[in-house]
Amino acid sequence: MRNSILASLAAVLALLAVAHVADLAAQQARQRVNGEGFISEGIPKMPNPPGPAPKRDLAGVWVGPGTSNKPDPAPPMTPAGEAIFKQRKAYNLATNLGSNASADPGASNDPAIKCDPLGFPRNVQTYAITNRGGVIFGSAPNRILIAYEQNRLWREIWMDGRALPKAVDVKGAPESRYYGYSVGHWEGDNTLVIDTTGLDERPWLDTVGHPRSSMALITERYTRVDQYNIQVTLTVTDPKYYSKPWTFMRASLYWMKAQEFPETLCIPSEAIEYLDTLAKPSGIQIVP
């Protein structure tokens, strides 16, 4: 059966109406947790102690733990950042779950509800970490490729020393992209450092709606500490919208024993069905 990202989204409404949707989402989660080689949520069973990390090599399929490890709180925003943030209505607040479940449902303008691209770096936080999605590191000439189980999304990280764009969406400059422009280099034998900029500003930085500007510099560090574990940090430097740089995410990736994963897609037609049959009848307003 084809998996849908909307199934997990719909599970948020279980307390409001539809129990069978929650059952489906729970079944999919159990498959990832209790499948071959897993000893607890998101963590595969591997030899202990693990072998040493190969040098300058992340190739293979990895899975996120389901949670990140206490990232820094967002710093104070600039007036421009505050203005954008105030216009955004998070989906989890619209459902009033986790904080005030007895309140009436509200409104959300999270573009992810309609299967719009999550953009970078929200895709890393959601696809690779909180939803325990699989991540493949591979290679092509002069670049490293990163592919994500959810939405079959891929990124290319250029390793040939090229410069990042200094501007986007102006004459003589490239167009902004949902997932930006990325260059990388190795720091020592075990840490891949990736810098990304040139971002389309429409996607949210995270689920609560923090913004990021087109020329924000987002730095990922993937440190392979041994044969089966990668430590991940992601830092956002965006003086247009924030008063200082901040560590947006700390997490780990674990070697996936099966080295394969299913096709999991956000399907627009299913998003429309979800909105018409679950969200709107439950009182949740989806606004532009």
Domain range summary for the chain, segments of one domain joined by +: 51-261
Specify the residue for token string 């049959």.
277
- State the amino acid at position 191 in one-letter form: T
N-term to C-term CA, the chain: 32
> What pLDDT, in 10s, does the model give residues 130-140?
777 789 999 99
> What pLDDT, in 10s, does the model give residues 105-128?
788 899 998 899 999 999 998 887
Residue 15 has a pLDDT of 31
Specify the residue for token string 């990042």.
164
Helices (H), the chain: 5-10, 19-34, 79-87, 91-95, 122-123, 268-274
Select the more confidently predicted residue: 256 or 160: 160
Residue 214 has a pLDDT of 97
* 26, 42, 96, 175, 228 from 33: Cα distances, Å: 10, 6, 27, 40, 17
> What pLDDT, in 10s, does the model give residues 199-249?
999 999 999 999 999 999 999 999 999 998 999 999 999 999 999 999 999
Q: How confident is the model at residue 45 (pLDDT cuts 50, 70, 90)?
A: low
Residue range 173-196: average pLDDT?
98
Residue range 63-69: average pLDDT?
72
* pTM (2 d.p.): 0.83
